Structure 1
Amino acid sequence: MEFKKNPKLELKKNSTLYFLIGLTAILLFAYVAIEWKTFYETPEFAQNSERLNDIDEVLPPVIIDLPPPPPPKVQAPPVIEIVPDDPDIEDSVIASTETDHTTEIVPIDDIPVIDEPILDEISFIVVEDVPVFPGCENVKTKEGKRACFQEMMQKHIRRNFKYPENAVDMNLQGKVFTQFTIQKDGSIGEVKMRGPHKILEAEAARILSKLPKMTPGKQRGTPVKVPFSIPITFKLQ
């Protein structure tokens, strides 16, 4: 005997529809379960709720009355007191210090002139009459005498210059800065020097010791001391 299936009773015919319906129902159930809220009463909330139920009347609002503002202050005008003049008080007259046509002019001859004291030592640059090196007596101008003095000093150094043998053996060279003072009588004194070695300083001192006597420098016609500085260069060829 052969069994035949009834197409109306076929379960797989609507399987997709049934699957979607089941899936929707599960999602709806899960959503409701997640969103479900449960409230538990605490003892404090129960006590407060009972107290709230006991209050039948509503408390009136609190009203604060502010005091009125103070009245504005009215400033009285200052009282000016008039004091009568005192006849016993004499007004002092302040004399003017400005000159006018009635001011007496003091003659110039009556004004005392105080001469400034002449310094004992004046620099070679600012002294009125520079010392005169022998051979520069015929030069007339001050600038010419200064230039002639420096030129004669260079000639004197070149003429008396001698390189020390010890300095050559020791390979010593450099500049020796010298300074001397032309005294009031024209002699040379107060010789100072500073160089790289004592041998070179000794040679520079020997050269300055051979300087001739000069005509002293003058300030307002009075002989003064005049310091002069010049470097002496020692250089091996």
Structure 2
Amino acid sequence: MIDIKKNPRVQLDNYSKIFFQIGLVLALFITYFMIEYKSFESDNVGNLGVVTLTEELKEDIPIVMRQELPPPPKAAPVLMEQIKVVEDDLKIEESVIESTETDETSAVVVSNIEIVEASETEEIVEDIPFVLIQDVPVFPGCKGNNIELKNCFSDKVSEFFGRKFDPGLPQELGLLQGKKKIFVVFKINNKGNIVNVNARAPHPLLQKEVVKIISALPQMKPGRQRGIPVTVSYSIPITIIVE
């Protein structure tokens, strides 16, 4: 008989399935064990920081030497006022004060020479504004009451200025076209004369001409305050048109 020997490799193939199953079971077991395993954190005491306690800084307290202060100066002694006892033997003369009261039976005599009647002098204020004067200055030819005399005065002054003023003067002075304002202030003294004429104009020569015209106003009847002639101040604005 011929013995047929089996190939060892074929015999190993028969056990490979068993090894595979055993390995699969083992892998499943390890996986299950790893899933179900619980771990806890360990107290790492060694990793904690080290706290070093140091003593607080000690403050050096300076040593102060004791100083002996001199004793305060002694106060000067207070001298007591000496009281002198006066004996009762001294005679004191008393002054008798007479009463100044009078009754109905006693008459009081007053000398007429001692009584001097002082006459009150009425003070008149000079330089009264035209709008406050009681009796306005009267321009020659004006008539009527106080209001009419005021209006007439203003009209006459404006008319007088219009006749004497040269309208071509502003153009000769080279003033620009348009309206020009001139302000004039003057006084009528207690004699009725025109004094203290002042003007403000756009040009010095024009200002000089305005002062000259206003100074030539005629003499007027002076204004009166409480019946006494006084100086009256008057102001007038003048408008000229330069073409």
Q: What's the counterpart of residue 154 of structure 2?
A: 150
Query: Which of 32, 49, 58 does residue 41 from structure 2 map onto?
Result: 32
Q: What's the counterpart of residue 221 of structure 2?
A: 215
Q: Tell me how far 1:20 sits from its aligned partner.
A: 5.0
> What value does the CA root-mean-square deviation take over the aligned residues?
3.3
Say whether the 8 Å CA contact 1:175–1:234 is kept in structure 2.
yes
Matches within 5 A, 1:103-142: 114=120, 116-136=122-142, 138-140=143-145, 142=146
Amino acid at match of 1:135: G
Larger radius of gyration: 2
Q: Whose helix proportion is higher, 1 or 2?
A: 1
Q: Tell me how far 1:181 sits from its aligned partner.
A: 0.6
Say whether the 8 Å CA contact 2:195–2:215 is kept in structure 1.
no
Q: What's the counterpart of residue 14 of structure 2?
A: 3
SS in 2 for 1:147: helix
Q: Tell me how far 1:208 sits from its aligned partner.
A: 0.7
- Distance verdict in 2 for CA 1:22–1:205, change over 3 Å: same
How many residue pairs get matched? Answer: 163
Structure 1 CA distance, aligned partners of 2:41 and 2:174?
112
**Is 2:166 the partner of 1:162?**
yes
Query: Which of 190, 193, 218 does residue 187 from structure 1 map onto?
Result: 193
Structure 1 CA distance, aligned partners of 2:239 and 2:47?
112
Structure 2 CA distance, aligned partners of 1:222 and 1:207?
29
- Distance verdict in 2 for CA 1:199–1:22, change over 3 Å: same
Amino acid at match of 1:192: N
Structure 2 CA distance, aligned partners of 1:191 and 1:16?
133
SS in 1 for 2:235: strand
Structure 1 CA distance, aligned partners of 2:237 and 2:226?
30
Q: Tell me how far 1:210 sits from its aligned partner.
A: 2.7
1:128-155 CA-to-partner distances (Å, cap 9, x unmatched) read 101111121x212x22221221122222
Structure 2 CA distance, aligned partners of 1:32 and 1:154?
119
Q: Tell me how far 1:23 sits from its aligned partner.
A: 5.7
Structure 1 CA distance, aligned partners of 2:207 and 2:46?
114
- Distance verdict in 2 for CA 1:13–1:135, change over 3 Å: farther
Query: Which of 5, 27, 31 does residue 19 from structure 1 map onto?
Result: 31
Q: What's the counterpart of residue 200 of structure 1?
A: 206
Amino acid at match of 1:32: E
Structure 2 CA distance, aligned partners of 1:113 and 1:128?
24
Amino acid at match of 1:12: L
SS in 1 for 2:45: coil
Q: Tell me how far 1:193 sits from its aligned partner.
A: 1.3
SS in 1 for 2:14: coil
Q: Tell me how far 1:157 sits from its aligned partner.
A: 1.8
Structure 2 CA distance, aligned partners of 1:159 and 1:147?
19
Q: Tell me how far 1:201 sits from its aligned partner.
A: 0.5
- Distance verdict in 2 for CA 1:154–1:15, change over 3 Å: farther
Uncovered stretches (5+) of structure 1, i.e. residues with no partner: 46-111
Structure 1 CA distance, aligned partners of 2:211 and 2:152?
22
Q: TM (normalized to structure 2)? A: 0.57
SS in 2 for 1:235: strand
Structure 2 CA distance, aligned partners of 1:149 and 1:128?
15
Q: What's the counterpart of residue 102 of structure 1?
A: none
Amino acid at match of 1:159: R
Q: TM (normalized to structure 1)? A: 0.58
